[in-house]
Structure 1
Amino acid sequence: MIRRRSLLAMLAASTTVSAGAGGLSSPVRAAPRDTLTIGLTQYPGTLNPMIDSMLAKSYVLGASQRQLTIEGHDWEPVPQLVVKLPSLEDGDAERFPSKTEAGEPVDGVRKTYALRDDAYWGDGTPVTTADVLFGWEVGRHPDTGVANFRAYRDVLDIVVHDDKRFTVVERKLDYRYRSMGDFQVLPVHLERPAFAEPREYRNRTLYQTDPANPGLWNGPYRVARVETGARIVLARNEHWKGTRPAFDRVEVRAIENTSALEANLLSGSIDMIAGELGLAVDQAIAFEKRHGDRFAVLYQPGLVYEHLDVMLDNPVLADRRVRQALILAVDRQAISDRLFAGKQPVADGFVHPLDRVHASDSVPTYGFDPSRAAALLEEAGWPPGPQGVRMNGKGERLSVELMTTAGNRTRELVEQVLADYWKRVGVETRIRNEPARVFFGETVQKRRFTGLAMFAWLSAPESLPRTTLHSESIPTEANNWAGQNATGFRNAEMDRLIDAAEIELDPDRRKALWAEMQRIYATELPAIPLYFRAEPYILPNWLTGVRPTGHKYTTTNWIEDWRVAE
């Protein structure tokens, strides 16, 4: 068993390892000004904007596939493909009497949008209301298996006025009504045949079978070439009418090993490392000390929540006392201080303190208390056993599987630290990691992990946790793996609070509902919170205009503003 001081020494030594990787560098080449090469730690499992949820996909789509609306740098909704946001005050949004799916009376909302006249797909076809209608058709079909199906199923109707104007009739008037949220627009002139069999759409979509088709893309760039698992090449979209982007070509390279990612930057094989999916803070701090004269390093705190999803179908982990023991047994503050220099604060729940709905007074917290952890395990029927591993009355060992994305050096180190802490209280840990596209596209999405899955959620401000905590969002084979509640969390009160908060327009009353959600989450622990991440962006000194948001919409949504410094 490793003593506490040995553990902290291991955490402190991790920074030295990161800095050592920089010693393998060769001189940085002169950056070609017609091409920008970006390094990421993940490769997307699909490029279809509706299927699966991976940050690597969002990063690529930010440059190539614009949405109706997103959240901007001020954390408020902004239009992308539409001209303006409707409002009750302006008259382009109005209430009407409606009912919930359960038949309860509620206010609905009709809101009218106008698509931009200068919005085109990459083959020159205008973006029209037909594409909006098709996106709704795909998203609401029960066999499609989209990640956020509620964004489509709560739309009762879309009234088309002409090729550019449409009115969305939504079942409920909610606090985010001006935005279209995760609603995606699809090119009906290309994607219609792939949707002939909705249950097979995720495999037959052109975003999967012919991603270099220009007509799939409506952003400043289009996908020009794909090397699965390795890189995606973006070329200027000739039919983009907005600000002309600075680079003829952008290459997004997936380098899953973070030490290799750093080495590629220093050798000149890539020009920058995306903060959204790049080096961990400890590596970035060490990198900045050694190479800060050649690169700009930006640290962006934000709504990124590193945690352990718990498989609640596992009888061992279904016991709340076991889940609470696992978090009490870990000195998360030591991990934050030693590994991340305090730049990544310990998370007590899923809502970041920067978010306007964060609650602290009513939320239970878990300090480092191995004695209490041991007592809880005793209560749960796991007394000490031979070889230091607890056993129950059936002779079963208290053993849990822990998984994360292979090649992420910091996550793999955190796994070892967690396993060491848990070993001290008699819990055996089996570590099994996978490449990110398999881990997210198959294991997490299809709920194939058996114990704990370490990854991060990146959310928008005041992002209602319907897809991750509502019982309707548990992915199953029957719903074609729709939803993101991979833990299988079922809590009637949480469901009620989510439903109530969605339609509560008063900010103070809504914040009270959020506080109760956070209390239940911290008590029940469907996931074990670790820390809120800071995103280190490592940029060449000659690149300007990269502005992190601190939330789920990536910097690439404004890639046309990136410029080469004079």
Structure 2
Amino acid sequence: MVPRPWRHRGLIRPVAAALAGAFALLFFVALSAPQAEAADKRRLTIGISQYPSTLHPSFDSMMAKSYIAGMARRRITTYSPEWLEICQLCTELPSLEKNTAAYETTPDGKPGMAVTYTLKPDAVWADGVPITTRDIAFTVEVGKNPETGIDNAELYSRIDSVDILDDKSFTLHLNKRTCDYSGLAGFDILPAHIERPIFEQGASEYRHRSAYDTDPTQPGLWHGPYRVARVTPGQSILLERNPNWWGARPYFDEILVRAIENTAALTANLLSGDIDMIAGEVGIPVDQALSFEAKHGADFKAVYRPGLFYEHIDLNLDNPILQDSRVRLALLTAIDRDAISQRLFKGVQPVAHGNVNPLDVRYDATAPRVAYNPDRAAALLDEAGWRMGGNGIREKDGQPLTLTIQTTAGNTTRELVEQVLQNQWRAVGVDIRIENEPARVLFGETISKRKFTGLAMFAWLSAPESIPRTTLHSSQIPTAENAWIGQNYTGYANPEMDRIIDDLETECAETDQARLWSRLQHLYAEDLPVLPLYFRSDPFLMPKNLTGVRPTGHQYPSTLWVEEWRLND
């Protein structure tokens, strides 16, 4: 997957409109050639490279699920393709100036906030049942129950209580004052009329009994322009037009999303006409798109969208080998990331020197950078006590320097990068074993439950200015005891990083924000809980007469505006 990697779990803040405008002008590239047409108006068939492990919005962060949900659900708030915070299910964002947000004191005497939202008056579930504050109250109840193990538990831990003002308006009482109080993008509303009876059978088993997995075609689960009409597990999901959708009428009668986990097979299916387009968010890598463009550019439209996609390697810091910072630095120093960027991606996907993308206004160019230097890598490993053995593999106390690396099986680019890494690390005496798994297994079990013993290569996808609480704060390390809540899969725990993240959420002055973001990036480069690889550009391959698709470059997919998609006759 790209798990929605990293999905900001809390409340979000917008980025400047000028920056968003620049993206819109600079990064949309269309090929000029005769137009290839989608199958017909009745059905559009989209190919993606992963099948979601669940359709429940609160479990298992996968971009494949987010992409499909974008057509069948709507968020209370989200980020637009222009990187601006907007309402989707609400009528307007809370504001201190408009008194829909206010400072208050929590029952235990701490600084808190009250934020008020009003749901759109005509919003209904696809079975015609109105979306009301009953659904809000139920969603809060599920989110705050520690036995459910939902992904976004950190957000719900901030909600002390909810006041129901009427059928459409509600106030959340937050136990923390934050700079990004107006956003509620991580709040995935659930249909109380369907899910409450299931939840009341037992919170600990709710995720396994939810109708999203046991009866996903039930219309009342959905509230977007489309609703799920058929599920073929592991293969495809058919969406049909939602007759009770309150927004602009979508163009296509049906959209079929087919999961083809081998990315080479994805392009073959596009050429054969079995699919009409390949999703950029969860499709093929840039190198394959560039090759496809060179051969078949006359027949398809290609759109490349640089964005907040961070390809990296998580290190399991419970592994004694990886607990030594010298080993972590040696591993990074032994990677020729510039060669990977230039030779595999023609420079389209630049080297990542940290977790903050240069496109983000919070990027600090002064943060330390690690250059490729195999001699230095060897010296660091010597210093750490790992001496070269007779077979070319380093040893320490009779133990070989052997680590496993895992990524999504069938993703040809990641598998190629793995082989490059394996060879470069072998050159400095590190033995790497490749143990790849299908995306639904890798993300549904291995990574989310920290079952990987060494290295895991995947991508995080964030919103602009996204504070990485769930990936770097020590409170977000998933364990069996906390029902695997959190995305700090490395097990990274640094009190200074915790303080920085806490302060970023509450110290809103621009000078404080700049200082804290800078220190976060410096500390990340010093500790290296993660090995940065490169920032991705996602390629969309589409019929030349398909219009209205607006790639976002952030964690919220283009499908959130699927009703704007059209075929030009």
Matched residues in 2 for 1:285 and 1:86: separation? 43
Matched, 1:454 2:457: yes
- 2:280 is aligned, of 275, 292, 315, to 275
Q: What is the aligned partner in structure 2 of residue 172 from structure 1?
A: 176
Q: CA deviation at 1:283?
A: 0.8
Matched residues in 1 for 2:343 and 2:401: separation? 29
Matched residues in 2 for 1:47 and 1:113: separation? 26
Matched residues in 2 for 1:517 and 1:30: separation? 46
Counterpart of 1:280 in structure 2: which amino acid? P
Q: What is the aligned partner in structure 1 of residue 553 from structure 2?
A: 550
Matched, 1:514 2:517: yes
Gaps of 5+ in 1: 1-26
Counterpart of 1:45 in structure 2: which amino acid? S
Matched residues in 1 for 2:235 and 2:103: separation? 49
Change (3 A) 1:224 1:315: same
- 2:384 is aligned, of 377, 380, 388, to 380
Q: CA deviation at 1:28?
A: 7.4
Task: After TM superposition, list the pairs within 5 Å mapping 1:48-87 onto structure 2.
Answer: 48-87=56-95
Matched residues in 1 for 2:507 and 2:231: separation? 44
Q: Indicate the SS of the match to 1:52.
A: coil
CA contact (8 A) 2:36 2:544 kept: no
Counterpart of 1:35 in structure 2: which amino acid? R
Bigger drift between 422-431 and 146-155 goes to 146-155
CA contact (8 A) 1:147 1:467 kept: no
Q: CA deviation at 1:462?
A: 0.8
Q: What is the aligned partner in structure 2 of residue 409 from structure 1?
A: 412
Q: What is the aligned partner in structure 1 of residue 132 from structure 2?
A: 128
Q: What is the aligned partner in structure 2 of residue 91 from structure 1?
A: 99
Counterpart of 2:537 in structure 1: which amino acid? A
Task: After TM superposition, list the pairs within 5 Å mapping 1:122-521 onto structure 2.
Answer: 122-196=126-200, 197-361=202-366, 363-392=367-396, 394-521=397-524
Counterpart of 1:59 in structure 2: which amino acid? Y
Matched residues in 1 for 2:337 and 2:134: separation? 51
Q: Indicate the SS of the match to 2:551.
A: coil
Q: Indicate the SS of the match to 1:529.
A: strand
Q: CA deviation at 1:98?
A: 4.0
Matched residues in 1 for 2:540 and 2:154: separation? 33
Counterpart of 2:536 in structure 1: which amino acid? R
Cα distance per residue 1:440-485 (max 9 Å; x no partner): 0000001100100000000001111111111111111111111111
Q: Indicate the SS of the match to 2:240.
A: strand
Q: CA deviation at 1:40?
A: 0.5
Q: CA deviation at 1:115?
A: 0.5
Counterpart of 2:463 in structure 1: which amino acid? A
CA contact (8 A) 2:36 2:543 kept: no
What TM-score, normalized to structure 2?
Answer: 0.92
Q: CA deviation at 1:124?
A: 0.6
Matched residues in 2 for 1:139 and 1:351: separation? 29
Matched residues in 1 for 2:226 and 2:524: separation? 40
Matched residues in 2 for 1:93 and 1:60: separation? 32
Q: Indicate the SS of the match to 1:325.
A: helix
Higher relative contact order (CA 8 A, sep 6+): 2
Matched residues in 2 for 1:479 and 1:212: separation? 31
Q: CA deviation at 1:522?
A: 1.2
Cα distance per residue 1:271-312 (max 9 Å; x no partner): 000000111111111111111111110110000000001010
CA contact (8 A) 2:38 2:543 kept: no
Q: What is the aligned partner in structure 1 of residue 12 from structure 2?
A: none
Q: CA deviation at 1:507?
A: 2.7
Tell me how large the CA RMSD over aligned residues is: 1.3
Q: CA deviation at 1:29?
A: 8.0
Q: What is the aligned partner in structure 2 of residue 39 from structure 1?
A: 47
Matched, 1:563 2:558: no
Q: What is the aligned partner in structure 1 of residue 119 from structure 2?
A: 115
Q: CA deviation at 1:360?
A: 1.8
Counterpart of 1:207 in structure 2: which amino acid? Y
Q: CA deviation at 1:74?
A: 2.3
Q: CA deviation at 1:181?
A: 2.8
Q: CA deviation at 1:176?
A: 1.2
Q: CA deviation at 1:108?
A: 1.8
Matched residues in 2 for 1:77 and 1:133: separation? 24
Matched residues in 1 for 2:176 and 2:99: separation? 17
Counterpart of 1:396 in structure 2: which amino acid? Q
Change (3 A) 1:34 1:555: same
Matched residues in 2 for 1:504 and 1:539: separation? 44
Give the count of matched residue pairs: 534
Q: Indicate the SS of the match to 1:290.
A: helix
Counterpart of 2:286 in structure 1: which amino acid? V
Cα distance per residue 1:343-365 (max 9 Å; x no partner): 1000011110111111121x211
Matched residues in 2 for 1:30 and 1:528: separation? 40
| Percent of residue pairs identical | 54
Q: What is the aligned partner in structure 2 of residue 525 from structure 1?
A: 528
Q: CA deviation at 1:33?
A: 1.6
Counterpart of 1:418 in structure 2: which amino acid? L
Counterpart of 1:51 in structure 2: which amino acid? F
Change (3 A) 1:291 1:172: same
CA contact (8 A) 2:310 2:536 kept: yes
Matched residues in 1 for 2:175 and 2:276: separation? 47
Counterpart of 2:227 in structure 1: which amino acid? R
CA contact (8 A) 2:38 2:546 kept: no
Q: CA deviation at 1:194?
A: 2.1
Cα distance per residue 1:84-108 (max 9 Å; x no partner): 1011111211112348xxx7x7532
Q: What is the aligned partner in structure 2 of residue 5 from structure 1?
A: none
Counterpart of 2:176 in structure 1: which amino acid? K
Gaps of 5+ in 2: 1-34
Q: Indicate the SS of the match to 2:340.
A: helix
CA contact (8 A) 1:28 1:266 kept: no
CA contact (8 A) 1:29 1:267 kept: no
Q: What is the aligned partner in structure 2 of residue 3 from structure 1?
A: none
Cα distance per residue 1:257-276 (max 9 Å; x no partner): 01000000000000000000
